[in-house]
Structures are given as C-alpha cells and as structure tokens.
A = this chain, B = another copy of it.
Amino acid sequence: MKCSVLTALGQADGFVSGRELCDKLQVSRTAVWKVINQLKEEGYEIESVPRKGYRILHRPDVVTAEEVGSRLQTEWVGRPVQYCAAIDSTNNEARRLAESGAPSGTLVVAEEQNQGKGRRGRSWVMSPGSAVAMTLLLRPEIAPAHASMLTLVMGIAVARACQGFCGVETKIKWPNDVVADGRKICGILTEMSSEIDYINYLVIGAGINTYVRDFPEELAQKAVSLHELTGSRPDRAGLIAECMRQFELCYEEFLKTQDLSGLKDEYNALLAGIGGRVRVLEPGNEYDGVSEGINERGELLVRRDDGKVEAVYAGEVSVRGIYGYV
C-alpha cells in the first residue's frame, strides 16, 4: 500500500489527485490520507494542494522495502524486497531466506551491516547510510560450475548503473570488483548452495560505497565512494533499482546462451588493465602475461610471454595488475 502510493507519486510528472490514488489502489480517501501521513512521518516531504492533490518534494535517503520497491522497473529481479534496518550481512540473510523457500528474485537490502563479508570470510566494514548493501537471491537452472559467470553479470549491471544513474565511469577488476579512478567502489560476493550438478540457490551480494566521508587509513588509497567522485550524495534506492533493472537485462542476455557470449564485448570494454601486464598467482604457480580479456565462460585470457594463452578460471587464481589499474 505504502509502496503503491510511492510508486504512483513517483511516476507522476506533477500532482496526483486523491481520487486518482483511490481509484488506482482501490481504497478510501481516508486510507490514502493515512498513508500520506505515515510517509511524512518517515521523512518524505509531500505537498498537498486542494483540488490538485499530492506531490513528492523530497524523498529521504532510505532503502526501505517501500522506497526501493516503488522505484523498481523490473519484471521479477528485486521482487520482493526484504529490508533490514540492521543485519549481520545481507548475504547471510538472503541465504536464510533461501533456506526457508524465498523465491528467485528476492532482494535483501540493509541500512546497516554489522558483520559484512568480503571474499573468503574477510570482513567488510560499513557504517549506516554510507553504502548500498544488497544481495540478490537466484535459483538458476545452470550447472554449479557456471555460477561464477553470474558474478561478472552483476559486475556489468553495477557498472552500467553507476554510469547511467550517477554519471560515474567505472571499470571492472576481474572478476568481482568495480573500480573508479583506480580505486574500489563496489565489491561483489557470490555464495552458492549446491549439489554436484544442481544449484539449490545462489546469492549475489554487492556493496557499493555511496557516501563514505572518511575511509580508514589503510583503505583510503584503495577505496572511493560515489559521493567523492560526483560531489553529491547518491540516491541509494534509485541506484539499487537501477542495478536491478540492469541486472535483469544482462541476465536475460546471459540466459540466451547460458554464458557470456552476448556480454563479453561489453565486459571487456569495461575491463581494467586489459592489454596490460598481469601476474597470475595460482597455488604453486606464478607467471606474468598480458591480459586479453575474458572469453564467453568468463575466464580471463592471459597471453604468457612464450605466446601461450591461458584461460584463467576465477575459482583458482588471483590476478594482479602489475602496474595498477588506473
């Protein structure tokens, strides 16, 4: 109901009359009036003018289910939205929801994460309001070995959204970071529950630095926020909705071939360090070469100095740009 009112007000150009809202939502004027008041209490500035109706003057920077839900332009990605004021991590919450049967497309969003996760159990710190912390639950009918490609799909979606919604040009550090100005702006963490040949569910978490005033010293050279790059505080709900819209588009493309054939060129155009020298660190094996971009399976092609091209799987190695990624 709150979400429907926000959606209707958000889609309108100017005022929406009380009658229009009543008709659209099939409720009484009193009910509409109550919701408008609730929204005002939550920080929405809503102007109401007799005989014209209502219009939103200002939305608070919140990422509630209603606010995010009212901004979504997707068929199924991000539906439903599960909002948490504070949570251990959105990935953990998404996994718990998955275990209890939540549908593919469910999106978990949190204002505050107190045990945010990076890869391999590393922690990821986030103070309230400083970042987007979101996790998308999927139940794709693909082989578990192909799941890592979806991390790359989310990378493209986030890069597109940063560009289209915030005007920030980003690059992707293969396989799972989005960087801008040579520093990390978003990390993506994919976790999966699977059998040998069957994915029970998969969660893709993305943490986007939106408004971080002071990174801890050890991160200041490595991380950056959208606010720092644009000078303005990004509208997080809108950014989330745009990520979901772009993910849905990219995912559709992915499903056509169940690989990255249709996204590879775009990914490689976004790829940091392509054409540059990289170092591949495999357990017990380390070599240098030139990054030639990904193939349709999302593997990074590295041309070794002897001319041989290796397809590096995200699961097995880490790749460093020898001269950085700026």
Q: How would residues 142 to 173 of chain A score, 1 for a CB under 8 Å from any chain B CB and 0 otherwise? A: 01110110010000000000000000000000
Decide yes or no whether A195 CB sits under 8 A from chain B.
Answer: yes
Cβ–Cβ contact B143 & A195, under 8 A: no
Q: Is A196 an interface residue (CB 8 A)?
A: yes
Considering only residues 155-210 of chain A, those with a C-beta below 8 Å from chain B are 175-176, 189-198, 200
Within 8 A of B (CB), among A8-30: none
Are B190's CB and A195's CB within 8 A?
yes
Q: Which of these binds chain B: A59-67, A220-228, A308-316?
A: A308-316
Does A120 count as interface, using CB distance less than 8 angstroms? yes
| CB-CB nearest in chain B for A315 | B197
A175 to B198, CA, bound (A): 14
Known: A143-B316, A313-B145. A151 touches B189 (CB 8 A): no
**Chain B, residue nearest A92 (CB):** B99
In the complex, are the beta carbons of A196 and B148 less than 8 A apart? yes
A119 within 8 A of B: yes
CB nearest to A147 among chain B residues:
B196
> Which residues A282-312 have CB closer than 8 A to chain B?
none
B192 contacts A151, CB within 8 Å?
Answer: no
- Which residue of the partner chain, among B143, B195, B313, contacts A189 with CB atoms under 8 Å? B195
Contact A315-B119, Cβ < 8 Å, known A189-B195, A190-B196, A195-B190: no
Q: Which residues of B contact A193 (CB under 8 A)?
A: 95, 191-193
Q: Is the CB of A195 within 8 A of B316?
A: no
Within the complex, what minimum Cβ distance (angstroms) separates A172 from chain B?
15
* Interchain residue pairs A-B with the least CB separation, the first 8: A197-B315, A148-B196, A143-B315, A120-B198, A196-B314, A193-B193, A192-B194, A145-B145
| A–B complex contacts, Cβ < 8 Å, 12 sampled | A119-B195, A120-B197, A120-B198, A144-B144, A175-B196, A176-B196, A189-B195, A191-B193, A191-B200, A192-B192, A194-B194, A196-B314
In the complex, besides A119-B198, A191-B195, A193-B193, 9 extra interface pairs with C-beta distance below 8 angstroms are: A120-B198, A143-B315, A144-B192, A144-B315, A191-B194, A191-B200, A192-B193, A196-B314, A196-B315
Chain A residues packing against B (C-beta within 8 Å): 95, 119-120, 143-145, 147-148, 151, 175-176, 189-198, 200, 313-316
